[in-house]
Amino acid sequence: MDPVTRVTGRAVPLDRSDVDTDQIIPARWMKRVERTGYAGGLFEKWRRDPGFVLNDPAYAGASILVSGPNFGCGSSREHAPWALRDYGFRAVVAPSFADIFRGNLPNSGLVPVQAAPDVVAALLAAVTADPATEITVDVAGRLVRCAAIGEAPFALDESAHHRLVHGLDEIDLTLARSDAIAAHERTRPPWMPTGRP
With CB under 8 A as the rule, give the number of residues binding other proteins: 60
Single out the segment in contact with other proteins by CB under 8 A; choices: 13-21, 84-92, 129-137, 142-150: 13-21
- Interaction of residue 27 with other proteins, rule CB under 8 A: yes
H/E segment holding residue 113: strand 111-114
Single out the segment in contact with other proteins by CB under 8 A; choices: 20-28, 52-60, 84-92, 132-140: 20-28
Identified binder of other proteins from the candidate list 68, 94, 113, 142, rule CB under 8 A: 68
Quick one: angle between helices 99-107 and 158-166, nearest 10?
Answer: 20
In angstroms, the CA 5 to CA 33 distance is 30
Per-residue binding letters, 32-51, with other proteins (x by CB under 8 A): xxxx---------x------
Per-residue binding letters, 135-164, with other proteins (x by CB under 8 A): ----------------------xxx-----
Identified binder of other proteins from the candidate list 53, 85, 90, 96, rule CB under 8 A: 96
Show contacts with other proteins in window 177-196 (CB under 8 A). Answer: 177-178, 180-181, 184-185, 188-196
Query: For the chain, percent helix, then strand, then coil, each to nearest 5?
Result: 40, 20, 40
CA-based torsion, 52, 6, 2, 164: positive or negative: negative
Give the amino acid at 8. Answer: T
DSSP state, 8?
E
Cβ(63)–Cβ(13) below 8 Å: no
* DSSP code string of 136-185: EEETTTTEEEETTTEEEE-B--HHHHHHHHHT--HHHHHHTTHHHHHHHH
In angstroms, the CA 143 to CA 124 distance is 17
Between 40 and 150, CB nearer to other proteins: 40
- Interaction of residue 174 with other proteins, rule CB under 8 A: yes
Smallest gap from residue 134 Cβ to other proteins (A): 26
In angstroms, the CA 144 to CA 123 distance is 10
Smallest gap from residue 147 Cβ to other proteins (A): 25
Q: Which residues bind other proteins (CB under 8 A)?
A: 15-18, 20, 22-23, 26-28, 30-35, 45, 68-70, 73-79, 81, 96, 98-100, 103-104, 107-108, 157-159, 170-171, 173-175, 177-178, 180-181, 184-185, 188-197
